């Protein structure tokens, strides 16, 4: 869209005024968190890039060590055969390109967790491909959570939809974080998934919060959504009360055989802007670079850290897609003068 010069200058002035007010609010004691409208978040996206980076860095440094990165490792404990039709997912039975496998044994999971800890990860995440866990599934997962927790690692699980009993069981087993992504905005959601309603996702997150666990929830960028819909995702996350403690921002990994295999490539700077918007609107959350990092250059990742990202998935495999190798991540952190959150002497 083309703007007349006077319209552009007016818009930027209004955006600056808004951000000055928001930055001042962040510095004040809060009885409740800031409410963000989609229009306000769109205004962030439209700021000049250097100004957006500056604002994001200001917020980031107020709440975090700007050079520390939280490292998480993700393991698929049950791969393939999911009954959901998520358009981005290789594990969907509607368009599966991944073999339907049985759940991993407990000793395999513990072995992977030990290896992740030795490699420097502080959090171990376990993911399962199903709509919701059965009673038998839960029994196995609960034992995995207890054993990983006993290693001294933070634990996270993504198991689909949960009921009240299941969230209480996970809390009692020692689960620290539950991951359940919103994926996209409510308005665009039906373009990506039809087998589960948006409210189903919200309800699971509400149960997790009620049980006393921390929330890990984010979305996927580059699925064909427009700017307003992208801002809508950030608004949904930022306006949770409280907002998620961990916010993974994924860049769509296009896999042949899935409905989104031919989606238009996302401009890398649009992804960086999304990281910045997440940081500004959720100042105390860990904002994580997640799927799609393997296709990003070191320069783009560096910009994401500058925009306020301070968490990554660490290890050469996510659930079913590749991730940068540990050695590459170590080299990148070294070049940037960054270090794992748990080890500032790295």
CB neighbours of residue 63 within 10 Å:
14
Confirm whether 82 is a catalytic residue.
yes
Write phi, then psi, for 129 (nearest 5 degrees): -95, 90
Closest CA relative to residue 237, chosen from 268, 274, 194, 197: 274
User: Does 304 qualify as catalytic in the annotation?
Assistant: no
- Among candidate residues 89, 207, 230, 304, the one labeled active-site is 89
Separation CA 14–CA 129 (nearest Å): 45
Largest CA distance in the chain: 65
Active site residue: 156, 207, 230, 293, which one? 156
Which residue of the set 207, 230, 288, 293 is catalytic?
Answer: 288
216 assigned to active site = yes
* Gap between the Cα atoms of 88 and 188, Å rounded: 14
In a 13 Å sphere around the CA of 257, the CA atoms on its Cβ side amount to 11
- Catalytic choice (86, 207, 230, 273): 86
User: CA dihedral in degrees (45, 47, 52, 54; nearest 10)?
Assistant: -170
Q: Which member of 123, 149, 201, 216 is catalytic?
A: 216
Which one, of 196, 209, 112, 125, lies nearest residue 164 by Cα? 209
Q: Which of 4, 61, 125, 279 is catalytic?
A: 125
List residues with catalytic annotation. Answer: 82, 86, 89, 125, 156, 216, 288
């Amino acid at each position: 869209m083309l703007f007349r010069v006077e319209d552009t200058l007016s818009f930027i002035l209004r955006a600056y005024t808004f951000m000055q007010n928001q930055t001042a609010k962040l510095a004040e004691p809060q009885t409740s968190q800031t409410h963000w409208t989609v229009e306000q978040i769109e205004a962030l996206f439209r700021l000049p890039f250097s100004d957006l980076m500056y604002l994001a860095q200001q917020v980031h440094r107020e709440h975090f060590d700007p050079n520390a990165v939280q490292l998480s490792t993700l393991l698929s404990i049950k791969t393939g055969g999911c009954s959901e039709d998520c358009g981005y997912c290789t594990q969907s039975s509607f368009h599966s390109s991944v073999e339907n496998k049985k759940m991993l044994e407990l000793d395999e999971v513990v072995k992977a967790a030990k290896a992740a800890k030795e490699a420097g990860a502080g959090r171990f995440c376990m993911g399962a491909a199903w709509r919701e866990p059965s009673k038998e599934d839960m029994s196995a997962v609960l034992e995995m959570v207890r054993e990983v927790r006993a290693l001294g690692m933070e634990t996270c699980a993504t198991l689909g939809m949960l009921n009240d009993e299941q969230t209480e069981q996970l809390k009692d087993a020692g689960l620290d974080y539950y991951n359940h992504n919103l994926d996209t905005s409510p308005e665009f959601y039906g373009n990506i998934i039809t087998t589960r309603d948006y409210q189903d996702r919200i309800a699971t997150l509400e149960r997790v919060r009620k049980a006393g666990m921390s929330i890990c929830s984010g979305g996927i960028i580059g699925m064909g959504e427009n700017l307003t819909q992208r801002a809508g995702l950030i608004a949904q996350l930022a306006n949770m009360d409280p907002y998620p403690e961990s916010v993974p921002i994924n860049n769509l990994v296009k896999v042949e055989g899935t409905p989104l295999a031919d989606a238009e490539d996302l401009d890398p700077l649009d992804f960086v802007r999304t990281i910045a918007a997440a940081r500004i609107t959720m100042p105390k959350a860990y904002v994580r670079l997640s799927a799609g990092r393997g296709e990003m250059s070191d320069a783009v990742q560096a910009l994401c850290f500058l925009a306020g990202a301070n968490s990554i998935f660490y290890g050469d495999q996510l659930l079913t897609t590749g991730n940068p190798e540990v050695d590459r991540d170590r080299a990148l952190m070294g070049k940037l003068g960054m270090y794992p959150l748990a080890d500032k002497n790295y």
